[in-house]
Amino acid sequence: MNESVSLLAAILFPVLSGAVLLLLKKLNDRRKVLIYAGIAMGIAGVLILNALLGKEKEILLFFLTEDIPIVLKLDNMGKWFLAIMSLIWILAGIFSFPYMKHEGKERRYFGFYLITLGAMAGLGCAGNLVTMYAFFEFLTLASFPLVIHNQSREAVMAGLKYLFYSLFGAYMALFGLFFLCRYTDTISFIPGGTLNMELAKGNESVLLLAACLMIVGFSVKAGMFPLHAWLPTAHPVAPAPASALLSGVIVKAGVLAVIRVIFYEFGADFIRGTWVQYVFMTLSLITVFMGSMLAFRENGLKKRLAYSTVSQLSYILFGIALLNPVALTGSLLHVAGHAVIKCALFLCAGAVIFQTGITTVDGLKGIGKKMPVTIWCFTIVSLGLIGIPPTGGFISKWYLAVGALESGIKGFQYAGPIVLLVSALLTAGYLLPVTIKGFFPGTDFDYGETKKCEAGAAMTIPIVILAALSVLIGMFPNTFIEFISAFTAGLM
């Protein structure tokens, strides 16, 4: 296939097939919807794989205004995110097939699920800030129906909260972008930044303000304090596979956007040592700690996982904020690790809800006897998130801590690793009780009544694959690290 067409196809096919599914009233039969969605997902996966395997390429679609082109370009950073996003998307999609029986309205769900992939692909392929902004907004709008899927009052309110926080953040970023446009030669993504230093001279304070607005604005999607409140509200109300997608990869859109802003527009050198870096580091560390604390106190299983996302995403943001290659490598590894792990955790929670209807941690007593495979997988990925070798979490946290220590930024050099350690402890505190309650329900537990009720293969297999992946990333990280460090080195 023609090189440039492959990018366009990867974006357009999911969007169009999703739109067709939404518009075709005749596909109201559950079986037909599933067959259609399955085929569409397969083709979309192949198209994205095709785009990923090709060379780095660029297409200019059209000009929005005279100096703002809409450009698609897939570089290695984009490939890394797109690969993770589409992998998780497919696994959560497979899980959805049986799961959505329990929520209903499959046609609408799969329609928007497909469109969401198109938006994510566009985000990964975006070649300049405005293109990325467009897909960023599109992703918010496309994923919104997934949040309000069951249309209870609670879900709708949560959905609105999600919508307004996301749009608000995007608009903050947009205004930063307006300032930025005046001082750059081009808004395309160029490793090392596009800032025109002659124009920027004397206007540093305005530019730093713009940088701060853009970083904080895009981090809203990644749930950074102080605009994190939407995340624990919106993620748990969605159907479990949609929560997995939201918590696993859609939040990463914010991470990608922040990376693009810092390393591809402003340039790391411009931000390094300024108040913006300190604000960014402080906010992310606060979020790491606060998210873990809140997760520790929460009893609802899915909500606990959502708080955990808040905390874990800020690990990634902290790694970015340190502005050194080692920490950035750690961040990018954690993007993959967290995506796999969080998706697995949400799918486990979904399997439990589907089979037993239990939604709280306290209700999980003895669940290990009923659903051993699910809870075993839950345990394995929990260990990964805590950061116990040989799982993926260990490697990324190692890089993050080393990066912090090497950075030599006064205060944060030590505060960072300490907060990370404390938070890891808290992570153990909020994830392991599920395993403990599940396998060791206590002496007064009546084993007589428990029956095995493992979920079906279509639900279990994605969970097992994810759990295996989380371990594999930890055991053979070198391929990934080599791939990442090859392009992170050029960013600073």
Contact between 137 and another protein (CB under 8 A)?
yes
Which window, 165-173, 234-242, 402-410, 430-438, contacts another protein (CB under 8 A)? 165-173
Residue numbers 71-130 binding another protein by CB under 8 A: 130
In this chain, which of 16, 76, 150, 175 binds another protein, going by CB under 8 A? 175
Q: Toward another protein, which CB reaches closer, 77 or 148?
A: 148
In this chain, which of 34, 71, 146, 163 binds another protein, going by CB under 8 A? 163
In this chain, which of 90, 156, 405, 415 binds another protein, going by CB under 8 A? 156
Q: Toward another protein, which CB reaches closer, 137 or 406?
A: 137
Contact between 406 and another protein (CB under 8 A)?
no
Q: Toward another protein, which CB reaches closer, 65 or 478?
A: 65
CB of residue 204 to another protein, shortest distance in Å: 15
Q: Toward another protein, which CB reaches closer, 132 or 256?
A: 132
Contact between 202 and another protein (CB under 8 A)?
no
In this chain, which of 28, 151, 196, 299 binds another protein, going by CB under 8 A? 151
Q: Toward another protein, which CB reaches closer, 49 or 134?
A: 134
In this chain, which of 172, 294, 301, 316 binds another protein, going by CB under 8 A? 172
Which window, 83-91, 158-166, 390-398, 473-481, contacts another protein (CB under 8 A)? 158-166
In this chain, which of 12, 20, 83, 181 binds another protein, going by CB under 8 A? 181
CB of residue 178 to another protein, shortest distance in Å: 4
Total binding residues toward another protein, as defined by CB under 8 A: 28
Which window, 159-167, 272-280, 282-290, 336-344, contacts another protein (CB under 8 A)? 159-167
CA angle at 71 for the pair 67 and 76, rounded to the nearest 5°: 130
Residue numbers 16-75 binding another protein by CB under 8 A: 62-66, 68
Contact between 160 and another protein (CB under 8 A)?
yes
Question: What does the binding site for another protein look like in residue numbers (CB under 8 A)?
Answer: 62-66, 68, 130, 133-134, 137-138, 141, 148, 151, 156, 160, 163-164, 167-168, 171-172, 174-175, 178-179, 181-182
